[in-house]
């Protein structure tokens, strides 16, 4: 078994001028996660590090760069899950936190609960000594532009995918065969205040079980929830499907049953991995056996040595 | 196919002096749901009515009678799901609302979202004209007594189940074969502020799919989430298990894998139903073919005509 980390940067439609940065971002996050695995670190450490990097990268809808809710504010959701214990930690509608994924991990590690929401999540952050950041520090010019544009009457035209499916996530298997997942998001462009999507919902935004594998999802959150996409894919794997076939079956079912598009990254405990999507694009990268694989459009896969720079 | 509604009042350990009222409460809620089905109403109307009655009943941990969080406040979670569309609505950590289940239904019916949390959920309630009630109106003497008792140092002794597993819920099938579920709770005694449990989490607190059936769960919320109990039971049914066997398989898996106890009510679209629990008791009642079935302890089942009073 070879340790592997697979990351995604959301299945949102990325404008052409931003696509190069999306690819660079997922590759860099996969490298960071892989460095941890190569040094003998845990899959949980690897996915949290990879997702933290994507949260810190303003080109992704998570942490800094999150989309804005209807009031022009950032409210974020995140989840981690540990396949060894089925332990999970999540936060929803949290504000002023640079790395919600790290806060989600603290919920798992330091409380008897699985999920903390809104100001309760922020209170917990303070009690753990997690610094709160000024709200503006999470808001990019691009996010504000999209928010303003969406406020204008009669919008929501051709860009039906844009701003609906941004989420970042990662799955990994470490040298001990432990699997983990992590998913983080700013949610939906111009969402209602307090809207919680699939990301922080166990079984929808992600799921990890050492007996089966791990999945992190992205896409239209409400559709993902209706079919509990991550858990559904793992059920297919329990019935003998490969990571790739199970991912495709889950995504196809979601599209046919509730009309939603999305994408997933999936691993099994043997180190097989897949990055699959029904949307027109998903930035993704995987690192295994010192090789980096990555792509953005359907069918696209580039390969290079992990130590080369793009 | 005969329409049926099955309700539960939580798998919490109920002190003897309160058990009679628990039985009366679930029977009354099942009767109310059944009256709707008998008149040709939908399964969604039936489960929302049954759960509303339990929320209004101070003997149950939902609505009025909810347990208190660590600060002595009521924060409630609720979910509904419609098996015809897989549409769902949920609220989490909502305050000052008499019937969170009705607010959850409004989220499903009136927004494009699935879940609203905390003050976002309250803002939505106001925008819908849902009256907010004074916080004290939801707090019973009993809830306050338990909160105070749990604040005392060195507690959490023999009553390990008590206050951890209270939730109310219902599932139903109507004359058109549509299934629905509804679940509502005040959560965990002395929980952290902002703690969100299984109830509002689709696939954990409940799930409904016309192609398979519907489940509403109760029990140790964090354990239920780790195994996405409602969805798990429906996967067993998809593989040919009966409502009863699938419910038992799900509960046994939860106990063996993560050490949690709980209970469920389950229906399939043909009108088969089950009320099963791994905890020592669960108040439950089912109404079908003008007959009321109910019980509290393992193996207990009383039967009477729907029109007789207890």
Where in chain B are the domains? 4-305
Percent of chain B having pLDDT more than 90?
A: 89
What letter would DSSP give residue B167?
-
- A223 contacts A13 by C-beta, under 8 angstroms: no
- B43 contacts B172 by C-beta, under 8 angstroms: yes
The partner residues of B290 in beta bridges, in order of sequence, read none
Q: Phi-psi category of A247—alpha, beta or left, where left has phi over 0 and alpha has psi -120 to 50?
A: alpha
A92 touches B at CB < 8 Å: yes
pLDDT the model gives residue A17: 84
Query: Which whole-number Å values give the CA distances from B86 to A295, B179, B181, B271, in the listed order?
Result: 33, 10, 11, 19
Is the pLDDT at B310 greater than 60? The verdict is no
CA distance B262 to A1: 37
**pLDDT-based confidence at A18, cuts 50/70/90?**
confident
What is the value of ipTM here, to two decimals?
0.95
- A186: number of Cβ within 10 Å: 32
B145 touches A at CB < 8 Å: no
The partner residues of A7 in beta bridges, in order of sequence, read A170, A285
CA distance A101 to B198: 20
B130 touches A at CB < 8 Å: no
CA distance A247 to A213: 12
**pLDDT-based confidence at B267, cuts 50/70/90?**
very high
Q: Which residues from chain A sit within 8 angstroms of residue B85, using beta carbons?
A: 258
CA distance B146 to A19: 56
CA atoms within 13 A on the CB side of A9: 34
**pLDDT-based confidence at B8, cuts 50/70/90?**
very high
- B55 contacts B99 by C-beta, under 8 angstroms: yes
pLDDT the model gives residue B158: 41
State whether A117 and B225 contact (CB < 8 Å). no
Would strands B115-117 and B87-94 be described as parallel, antiparallel, or unpaired?
parallel
Q: Phi-psi category of B308—alpha, beta or left, where left has phi over 0 and alpha has psi -120 to 50?
A: beta
Is the pLDDT at B157 greater than 60? The verdict is no
Q: What is the pLDDT of residues A56-69, one digit of tens each?
A: 999 999 999 999 99
Q: What is the pLDDT of residues A237-285, one digit of tens each?
A: 999 999 999 999 999 999 999 999 999 999 999 999 999 999 999 999 9
CA distance A154 to A152: 7
State the pTM of this model. Answer: 0.96
Nearest Cα to B76, choosing from A193, A222, A200, A117?
A117
Q: Where are the alpha helices (DSSP H) in chain A?
A: 16-38, 43-56, 100-110, 118-127, 141-151, 221-226, 229-238, 243-258
Query: Which residues 235-274 in chain B show a CB within 8 A of chain A?
Result: 235, 257-258
Q: Which residues from chain A sit within 8 angstroms of residue B73, using beta carbons?
A: none
pLDDT the model gives residue A157: 40
What does residue B39 show for φ and ψ, rounded to 5 degrees?
-85, 10
pLDDT the model gives residue A23: 95
Q: At B276, which helix (H) or strand (E)?
A: strand B273-277
| B167, B199, B217, B266: the active-site residue | B167
A195 touches B at CB < 8 Å: yes
CA distance B305 to B292: 6
State whether B116 and A221 contact (CB < 8 Å). no
Say whether B167 is catalytic. Answer: yes
Total count of residues recorded for chain A: 310
A115 touches B at CB < 8 Å: yes
- Consult the annotation and say whether B195 binds a ligand: yes
CA distance A40 to A36: 7
CA distance B310 to chain A (A): 39
B110 touches A at CB < 8 Å: no
Residues B172-179: what's their mean pLDDT? 98
- B91 contacts B78 by C-beta, under 8 angstroms: yes
Q: What is the pLDDT of residues B99-154, one digit of tens each?
A: 999 999 999 999 999 999 999 999 999 999 999 999 999 999 999 998 998 887 76
What letter would DSSP give residue B14?
P
Q: Which residues from chain B sit within 8 angstroms of residue A225, using beta carbons?
A: 88, 114-115, 202
- With a CB cutoff of 8 Å and minimum separation 6, the contacts of A94 are A75, A76, A77, A78, A100, A103, A116, A117, A118, A121, A122, A125
Higher pLDDT, A234 or A146: A234
Is the pLDDT at B91 greater than 90? The verdict is yes
- Consult the annotation and say whether B177 binds a ligand: no
- Smallest CA–CA distance from A87 into chain B, residue: B226
Q: What is the pLDDT of residues A171-181, one digit of tens each?
A: 999 999 999 99
Is the pLDDT at A232 greater than 60? The verdict is yes
CA distance A5 to A174: 8
Is the pLDDT at B254 greater than 60? The verdict is yes
Total count of residues recorded for chain B: 310
**pLDDT-based confidence at B18, cuts 50/70/90?**
confident
Fold of A4-305: 3.60.20
Query: Which whole-number Å values give the CA distances from A130 to A78, A93, A106, in the listed order?
Result: 15, 16, 10
pLDDT the model gives residue A309: 67
Of B120, B226, B228, the CB nearest to A194: B120
């Amino acid at each position: 078994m070879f340790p592997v980390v697979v990351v995604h940067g959301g299945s949102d439609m990325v404008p052409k001028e931003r696509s190069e940065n999306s690819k660079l971002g997922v590759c860099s996050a996969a490298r960071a996660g892989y460095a941890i695995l190569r040094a003998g670190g845990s899959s949980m450490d690897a996915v949290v590090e990879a997702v933290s990097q994507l949260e810190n990268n303003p080109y992704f809808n998570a942490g800094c760069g999150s989309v804005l809710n209807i009031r022009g504010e950032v409210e974020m959701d995140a989840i981690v899950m540990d396949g060894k214990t089925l332990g999970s930690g999540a936060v929803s509608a949290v504000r002023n936190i640079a790395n919600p994924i790290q806060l989600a991990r603290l919920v798992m590690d330091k409380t008897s609960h699985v999920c903390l929401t809104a100001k309760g999540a922020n209170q917990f952050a303070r009690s753990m000594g997690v610094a709160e950041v000024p709200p503006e520090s999470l808001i990019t010019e691009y996010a504000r532009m999209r928010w303003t544009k969406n406020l204008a009457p009669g919008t929501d035209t051709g860009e039906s995918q844009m701003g609906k499916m941004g989420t970042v996530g990662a799955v990994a298997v470490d040298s001990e065969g432990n699997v983990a997942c992590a998913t983080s998001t700013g949610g939906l462009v111009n969402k209602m205040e307090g809207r919680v999507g699939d990301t922080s919902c166990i079984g929808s935004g992600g799921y990890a079980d050492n007996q089966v594998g791990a999945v992190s999802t992205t896409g239209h959150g409400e559709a993902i929830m209706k079919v509990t996409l991550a858990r559904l894919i793992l059920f297919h794997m329990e019935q003998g499907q490969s990571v790739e076939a199970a991912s495709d079956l889950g995504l196809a079912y979601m599209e046919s049953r509730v009309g939603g598009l999305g994408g997933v990254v999936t691993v099994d405990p043997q180190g097989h991995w897949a990055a699959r999507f029904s949307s027109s694009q998903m930035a993704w990268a995987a690192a295994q056996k010192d090789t980096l694989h990555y792509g953005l459009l359907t069918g696209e896969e580039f390969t290079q040595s992990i130590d080369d720079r793009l």
